[in-house]
């Protein structure tokens, strides 16, 4: 099978290709791929000739991997398509001698319709990484603005998805691949087998873990400076793609150029492009020559090893011949001595021959009778020999069937062992779920009792409030109350001046006693608060809420503001609003 890795630059296509190579997919001879560097310390696993061929097409259109605002696959000139098809066909023919094989080069996501002209049985293996992380990585590596990086991600992903719509395809999550590499590779192997890809294996866990280093997962979309991009349309498209709920029609905007003005504005700020299609073809030819030279070197090495083996065999044969020459000389001497003895024995034999001649005549008569019996015995032996050959053939067939049964039994045994492991894991998971359900049921009963008690107290408070309202109404309507109105105004002004600090203390106390602010959790989550020496509660009130920080794992600031626009409009601290109003109003503090 022909495996095609699809994905945007900085999406993890290199690590996916290397893992497919560890599973047994051929990527090319040694030296045919781009080496490692600081940008990708584990290697790119990207054939130079494939990249040169892709650059030839893009450069012929006046485009580059990051200058694609004017690129349309349907606008590629016929002469460029013809040259591409001829060269790509030769490359694929060379790779087909080593099926299953894999090629990876991010530009294929844009040029897949051209590659499909020379592929017979492609299986697309796409990798999806958060567009925010891809854009951040491109900004760090190439200085590309984050907004442009998001649009480039959308162009590449939508082009690949639309072109591969009718092909067998498998989607791999970049985050799952780098955080759970062993489980991801096993799942990928099962999906490839289901698509009919044979000749692969599941590498040992230590092979996978030795290659996939979690520390190399550098750009994360959870960084504070990237939170503003969480609601970008590319993020919503990414989530739908991972869930398998996205249709190619949803990419029409990206493919028809709805973002091309932004990309074109970015491209105008770039220095002039050094595009030379002829140089790309020369680089492709050089890569092909290097590939053939590597193959010839490998063949020459194999031939040298065979010649060494033949040389050692000739030396051994010469040694044996010399040894046999010595033996022949000794045999000639022995035969000379034997000939003299035979001559003496011959004379004695001639004398005995005459005696035996007489006995021979007598024996001849008896042997004629015995020969008839021998002929009959030979016929019986020939018949028995035929029966024996038939039995031997039947025995060989039986042994072959037995060996096949042993092989099938071994395969069934491995399947049974795997099923037993899965059953044990399922039992363990079920027990954990049952335990969790019991704990949750216990907590639910306690919460129910607490809710009933709270409702009872609220009813009592409401009755007291009604009584106080009635009493207040009677007092405020009295003549005495109206008479002391000026005095109350002066007293209220004085009380407000004295109790200003007390209200601030009450707010702090309300947050600290709410059970929704975890000072230790806040300090560990946001170490800059500790470095600045600010009290966590004061920091949250003054800065944290406006920066989208959470007071604990039990309260999501951004979620609360997004789902309660009246709170966001009022400017009130979201946690304080929830403590004083939101909780009793039944508003949610976190995603459930």
- Identify the pLDDT of residue 497: 37
Question: How many percent of the chain have pLDDT more than 70?
Answer: 78
Prediction pTM value: 0.51
Q: How far is CA 214 from CA 45, 133, 140, 565, in A?
A: 19, 15, 19, 39
- Identify the pLDDT of residue 566: 93
User: Mind listing the pLDDT tens digit for each residue in 52-69?
Assistant: 999 999 999 999 999 999
Query: Higher model confidence: residue 139 or residue 465?
Result: 139
Taking residues 168-186, what's their average pLDDT?
A: 93
Average the pLDDT over each of 83-87, 472-476, 501-505 and give the range with the smallest value: 472-476
CATH class, domain 2-275, is: alpha beta
- Identify the pLDDT of residue 400: 83
- Identify the pLDDT of residue 77: 94
User: Mind listing the pLDDT tens digit for each residue in 282-316?
Assistant: 877 776 666 665 555 555 566 567 667 767 777 77
Query: Higher model confidence: residue 200 or residue 422?
Result: 200
Q: Residue 117: is its pLDDT beyond 60?
A: yes
* Sequence ranges of the domains in the chain: 2-275, 502-592
Average model confidence (pLDDT) for the chain?
Answer: 81
Tokens of 366: 């008896």
Q: Residue 493: is its pLDDT beyond 90?
A: no
Question: How many percent of the chain have pLDDT more than 90?
Answer: 41
Coarse DSSP helix, strand, coil percentages of the chain, rounded to the nearest 5 percent: 70, 5, 25
Average the pLDDT over each of 95-99, 138-142, 275-279, 572-576 and give the range with the smallest value: 275-279
User: Mind listing the pLDDT tens digit for each residue in 327-341?
Assistant: 777 876 777 777 677
Query: How sure is the predictor about 92, in pLDDT bands with cuts at 50, 70 and 90?
Result: very high
Q: Residue 402: is its pLDDT beyond 70?
A: no
Q: How far is CA 215 from CA 16, 175, 184, 220, in A?
A: 16, 13, 18, 12
Locate the DSSP E strands across 164-323: 169-173
Taking residues 553-568, what's their average pLDDT?
A: 93
Q: What angle do CA 476, 477, 480 make, to 5 degrees?
A: 75
Query: How sure is the predictor about 441, in pLDDT bands with cuts at 50, 70 and 90?
Result: confident
Burial 270-307 (b: 16+ CB within 10 A, else e): eeeeebebeebbebbeebbeebeeeeeeeeeeeeeeee
Pairing verdict, β 101-104 and 169-173: unpaired
User: Mind listing the pLDDT tens digit for each residue in 495-553?
Assistant: 333 334 446 778 888 898 889 999 999 999 999 998 988 999 999 999 999 999 999 99
- Identify the pLDDT of residue 104: 93
């Amino acid at each position: 099978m022909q495996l095609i890795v699809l994905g945007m630059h900085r999406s993890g296509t290199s690590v996916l290709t290397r893992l497919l190579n560890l599973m047994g997919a051929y990527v090319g001879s040694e030296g045919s791929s781009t080496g490692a560097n600081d940008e990708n310390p584990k290697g790119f696993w990207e054939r130079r000739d494939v990249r040169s061929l892709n650059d030839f097409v893009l450069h012929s259109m006046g485009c580059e991997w990051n200058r694609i605002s004017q690129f349309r696959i349907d606008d590629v000139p016929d002469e460029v398509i013809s040259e591409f098809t001829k060269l790509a066909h030769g490359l694929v023919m060379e790779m087909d001698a080593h099926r299953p094989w894999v090629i990876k080069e991010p530009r294929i996501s844009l040029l897949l319709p051209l590659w499909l002209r020379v592929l017979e049985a492609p299986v697309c293996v796409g990798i999806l990484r958060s567009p925010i992380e891809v854009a951040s990585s491109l900004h760090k590596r190439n200085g590309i603005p984050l907004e442009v990086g998001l649009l480039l991600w959308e162009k590449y992903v939508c082009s690949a998805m639309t072109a591969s719509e009718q092909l067998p395809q498998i989607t791999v999550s970049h985050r799952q691949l780098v955080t759970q590499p062993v489980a991801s590779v096993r799942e990928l192997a099962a999906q490839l087998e289901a698509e009919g890809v044979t000749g692969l294996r599941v590498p040992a866990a230590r092979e996978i873990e030795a290659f996939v280093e979690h520390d190399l997962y550098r750009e994360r979309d959870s960084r504070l400076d990237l939170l503003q991009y969480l609601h970008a349309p590319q993020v919503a498209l990414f989530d739908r793609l991972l869930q398998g709920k996205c249709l190619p029609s949803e990419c029409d905007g990206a493919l028809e150029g709805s973002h091309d003005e932004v990309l074109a504005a970015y491209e105008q700020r770039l220095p002039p492009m050094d595009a030379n299609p002829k140089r790309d073809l020369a680089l492709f030819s050089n890569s092909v020559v290097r590939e053939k030279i590597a193959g010839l070197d490998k063949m020459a090495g194999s031939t040298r090893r065979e010649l060494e083996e033949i040389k050692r065999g000739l030396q051994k044969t010469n040694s044996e011949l010399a040894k046999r020459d010595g033996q022949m000389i000794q045999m000639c001497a022995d035969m000379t001595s034997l000939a003299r003895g035979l001559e003496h024995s011959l004379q004695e034999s001639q004398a005995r021959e005459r005696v035996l001649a007489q006995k021979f005549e007598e024996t001849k008569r008896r042997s004629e009778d015995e020969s008839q019996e021998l002929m009959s015995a030979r016929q019986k032996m020939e018949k028995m020999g035929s029966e024996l050959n038939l039995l031997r053939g039947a025995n060989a067939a039986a042994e072959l069937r037995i060996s096949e049964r042993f092989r099938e039994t071994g395969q069934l045994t491995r399947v049974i062992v795997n099923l037993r492991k899965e059953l044990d894991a399922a039992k363990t998971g079920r027990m954990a779920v049952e335990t969790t359900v019991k704990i949750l049921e216990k907590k639910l009963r306690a919460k129910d009792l607490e809710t009933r008690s709270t409702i009872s107290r609220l009813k009592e408070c409401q009755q007291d409030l009604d009584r106080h309202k009635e009493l207040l109404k009677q007092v405020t309507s009295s003549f005495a109350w109206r008479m002391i109105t000026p005095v109350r105004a002066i007293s209220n002004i004085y009380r407000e001046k004295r109790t200003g600090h007390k209200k601030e203390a009450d707010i702090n106390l309300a947050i600290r006693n709410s059970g929704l602010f975890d000072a230790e959790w806040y300090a560990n989550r946001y170490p800059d608060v500790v470095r600045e020496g600010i009290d966590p509660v004061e920091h949250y009130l003054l800065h944290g809420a406006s920066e989208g920080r959470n007071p604990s794992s039990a309260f999501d600031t951004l979620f609360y503001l997004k789902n309660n626009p009246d709170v966001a409009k009022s400017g009130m601290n979201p946690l304080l609003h929830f403590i004083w109003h939101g909780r009793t109003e039944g508003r949610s503090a976190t995603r459930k």
